[in-house]
Amino acid sequence: MSKIMIVDDAAFMRMMIRENLKKTGFSDFVEAGNGDEAVALYMETHPDLILLDITMPVKDGLAALQEIRESDPNARVVMCSAMGQESMVIEAVKLGALDFIVKPFKPERLVQTVRNVLG
């Protein structure tokens, strides 16, 4: 079973993502509340997929994405962004993000994106 890391500074958003993925059979999750935690947790757990929020305190998602991809060019990352962050999404794709989900997201879009990236 695939391990998924959920990174968002809002605990409620992490819970929503986790619960939506649990309903479709995913069960192995690790969570981080900011970019610094995400980088450290990635190095420790090497999840199969990272769902990474862009706007967070301490270290934002773009900086975390860049750091993770520098240490592991094969890291699979999907960015989560609020409406109106198109320029950041473009930057994230340039840095190696495989896809993005716009918040608020539809559960079907979340699940489909995760399945597509994990193959």
- What residue type is 64 in one-letter code? A
Tens of pLDDT along 25-53?
999 999 999 999 999 999 999 999 999 99
> Distances in Å between the alpha carbon of 11 and those of 6, 31, 32, 45, 111?
10, 9, 9, 20, 19
Alpha-carbon distance values, 116 to 55, 61, 104 (Å)? 24, 21, 20
Instruction: Supply the mean pLDDT for the chain.
Output: 93
Query: How far is residue 34's CA from residue 109's CA, in Å, rounded to a whole number?
Result: 23
Whole-prediction pTM: 0.93
pLDDT computed for residue 86 by the predictor:
74
Residue 67: per-residue pLDDT: 97
Domains of the chain: residue spans and CATH: 3-118 (3.40.50.2300)
Residues in the chain with pLDDT values less than 70: 83-85
Cis peptide before 104 (omega within 30 of 0): yes
What phi-psi label fits residue 89: left (phi over 0), alpha (psi between -120 and 50 degrees) or beta? alpha
